[in-house]
Amino acid sequence: MKHIPNILSATRIALCLPLLLVDAMTVPFWVLYVIAGITDMFDGFLARRWGMESRFGARLDSLADFVFVIAVGYKLFPWLKLPAALWMMIGLIAMVKIINAISSYVVNHRIEFLHTKANKLTGFLLFVGVITIGQSYFVPIAWVIACIALFAAIQEGHFIRSK
């Protein structure tokens, strides 16, 4: 039982390979996407619920999140029709996250990605928001998610630097 949260995180990483092999926006893609997303929702929840949180588990979860985002981003990038200003906002968020990683290394001597409530909300909104790609309301939804993501990134940096 104690390994189930880490197995879920590892499963998310393993699901990225078939996710890369299927065509985006198809039923197999969305099935893999949803299964991987469910592993993300339950790994941390179960670890906390069962009192099995660990530094290794948190790092594995962050790695799994990163691999999943890169795989999904790679597959869906051709489908993203975003205005230039939104791409710049995404770039700003990425820069803040990189600065946070560098700051965490300087402050804590290791790279950390904090699982704040704002970061969890951002992750959930991204997970659900991706499903709206191609819809007329996708860009406004993307703007809302980007604003929340920027807030979450800035908040994470504040928490890292005030430890």
Express each pLDDT in 68-105 by its tens digit.
999 999 999 999 999 999 999 999 999 999 999 999 99
Token pair, residue 112, equals 């950390």
Rounded to two decimals, what is the model's pTM? 0.84
| Residue range 4-43, pLDDT digits in tens | 999 999 999 999 999 999 999 999 999 999 999 999 989 9
Token pair, residue 103, equals 């700051």
- Residues 149 and 105 grouped into a single domain: yes
Of 23, 45, 79, the position where a domain reaches its end is 79
Contact status, residue 71 vs residue 19, Cβ threshold 8 Å: yes
Q: Domain span at residue 15?
A: 1-79
**Whose CA is closest to 53, among 105, 91, 121, 4?**
4
Instruction: Round to whole Å and give the CA distance between 12 and 35.
Output: 8
Of 79, 95, 112, the position where a domain reaches its end is 79
